[in-house]
Amino acid sequence: MCGIAGFYDPQTGTADAPPLLEKMLESIAHRGPDARGRHFQGPLALGHNRLSIIDLSDAGNQPMEYFDARIVYNGEIYNYPEIRKDLEQKGYRFTTKSDTEVILACYREYGEKCTDYFMGMWAFALWDIKEEILFCSRDRFGIKPFYYIHSVNRFYFGSEYKALKQSPVFSPSLNWSQVNRGLQLGWNCYRDETYFECIRALPAACNLLFRNGKPVVYHYWKPGEQKVSIPGTFHERCNDFRKLFMRSVEQHMRSDVEIGGCLSGGLDSSAIAGGVGTLFPDSAFKTFTVYYDGEGEVDERPWVSEVLKKFSCLKPFYLKPSPEDIAAAFDRALYHADVPIAGSSPVSQYFVMQLAAEQKIKVLLDGQGSDEYLGGYMHSFYRLIGGHLRNFRFGSARRELQSHVRRQHHTFSEGMNIFMKSVLAAFMEEQALYRLEYKKYFPFTGPDTGNAVDLPEGIGSRLKRFFSQLLEVSSLPTLLQFEDRNSMAFSIESRVPFLDHRLVDYAFSLEDDDIMKDGETKRILRHSLNGILPDAIANRSDKKGFVTPGEVKWLRNSLSFLLDQDFSSLEFMDQNKIRLLIREFKNGDNSNAVLVWRIAVFRYWWEKNC
């Protein structure tokens, strides 16, 4: 895992290029403290901060050259030994043990199609010396970041905003469309947009070709497009899913340094820990858990203990952040986030990474991604029930609604609310639903830019289309942004085994009932890991997420300074509404706590970044 930066700029002279690249690399030094490399060729500059994970020798340093191509790369290609073996059979020879050299050889063999062969996470910029093309790519889910600025014939790129802020073409003008999404929907990124007008993000599953002063971006993969043959019975499908999942965990454990894992006690992190415990029973696998105790807090340690009892190879570490810890860490967490933190959960995740770093861990496994395509979110039921209604399967809709209400112990009124939302999901497209949510606070939160939400159509059932939108736009990109920034703040590589595209392609080929049925979420995951997951975890019906007390307790205690800011500078907002919201919140009204958090954090971030 690393940090990359560079540019192709005919207007930057040979004397100015080295100090400029050095400033870009120094701004993201935390991403790779083990080595720094630079390469200059005419208007081209490539820079790399290395976090050594595979092939710890100097031979693995970057920029790396292979025949007629040179690369700077951030990520891991987990199936690189298999690709390397195939390439060796074609006559290729390798001088390192790194996956970086495999990428270069694969590009020489397959050109831009090389990304079709990769399973992993990556963001890279590859200079084709012969063709004078800069070939950039980002992994299928956007696990690793890639940002760029294009101005006329000048092209700058980097792993974080911080690197691009050093470039001569950066402007601090805000992108108000993204500001509004952050305030109203909690999204911290959207397609290729960022919080700054000039900075673009290379979207997930996209390649970029920069040639003759112009970038061309295109998709090379979409969730749901690659249909996989599935067997006839649910039991057989569970066996297939189990094999795919365990292969992903096994390949994600490939490393030349120690690997640990996040363990919340939820289904996803427990599944990964269980997979490690099953495949590597003789290892000493460190797990990391942050908790809060006291009245009204969610303490997952009892669930964590169920996993620990089953697998003796797991070595737990715990951290309970104090109010002083939270106050002291907030500025650093916000600095590394690059964007306004839309909720308190990322701050807790920051502490998980800090705890792992204290134990000298350089690689962590985490459970991000499962909820988005295995139906982990409770509002997925609206789409499942709505799909039944839309297809006139009223009996199925009734049974699913009743099962969901019963399993979650909902009241009659809560059940009716779910039914009404399911009706909306049946007859309104997802984009219309999000626009209703987007307009909830308009015009209070900001100017209407007319560019709010444009969701992908997706493929398949109502539920599967919803999963596509979660993966591509509404949920996963924001989660992965914080996953990357929080881990890299401590020079840790975070790996997410659920985001193996082979798993996702298989899940999209399943029937809806394989994924959600009788009020049960993640059905195929629960049943496929029978014997690996502790029964108490497999049978959990609650969905806690990464619950933290920040939006309520922290704002009134550790982070109360956020409410004492001068909000009058936010001229695009309704000042009377802001004063009313904050006054009501201070007086004990928690109904708008999340919105109060977003406004207060945005104001604090804005002062430091604009």
| DSSP conformation letters of 423-462 | HHHHHS-HHHHHHHHHTTSTTTSS---S--------SSSH
Cis peptide before 63 (omega within 30 of 0): yes
Q: Give the model's pLDDT for residue 443.
A: 54
Residue keyed to tokens 């947009």: 193
- Please tell me the distance from the alpha carbon of residue 521 to that of residue 378, in angstroms, as a whole number: 8
Strands 147-151 and 259-262: unpaired
- Give the torsion sign (CA, 277, 280, 284, 286): negative
Taking 50 as the pLDDT cut, the residues of the chain under it are none
Give the model confidence (pLDDT) of 69-99 as tens digits: 999 999 999 999 999 999 999 999 999 999 9
Parallel, antiparallel, or unpaired for β 259-262 and 285-290? parallel
Say how many CA atoms lie within 13 Å of 507 toward its Cβ: 31
Contact present, 64 and 48 (Cβ < 8 Å): no
pLDDT given at position 450: 60
Q: What is the pLDDT of residue 455?
A: 84
- The structural domains of the chain, ordered by start, are 2-219 (3.60.20.10), 234-373+475-538 (3.40.50.620), 378-462 (no CATH), 550-609 (no CATH)
**pLDDT of 439-497, one tens digit each?**
666 556 666 666 678 888 888 899 999 999 999 999 999 999 999 999 999 999 999 99
Residue 446 pLDDT:
64
Tens of pLDDT, residue by residue over 128-160, are: 999 999 999 999 999 999 999 999 999 999 999
Contact in structure between 261 and 272 (CB atoms under 8 Å):
yes
Q: 75: which 2 tokens?
A: 């990520």
The pLDDT assigned to 1 comes to 67
Grouping H, G, I as helix, E, B as strand and the rest as coil, residue 357 is: helix
Kind and range of the H or E run holding 122: strand 120-128
Please give the span between the terminal C-alpha atoms of the chain, in angstroms, as a whole number. Answer: 29
Q: pTM, whole model, 2 decimals?
A: 0.95
- Determine the Cα–Cα distance for residues 1 and 587; give it in Å rounded to an integer: 46
Tokens of 386: 């709505």
Euclidean distance between CA atoms 17 and 3, whole angstroms: 18
- Count helices and strands in the chain by DSSP H and E runs: 24, 17
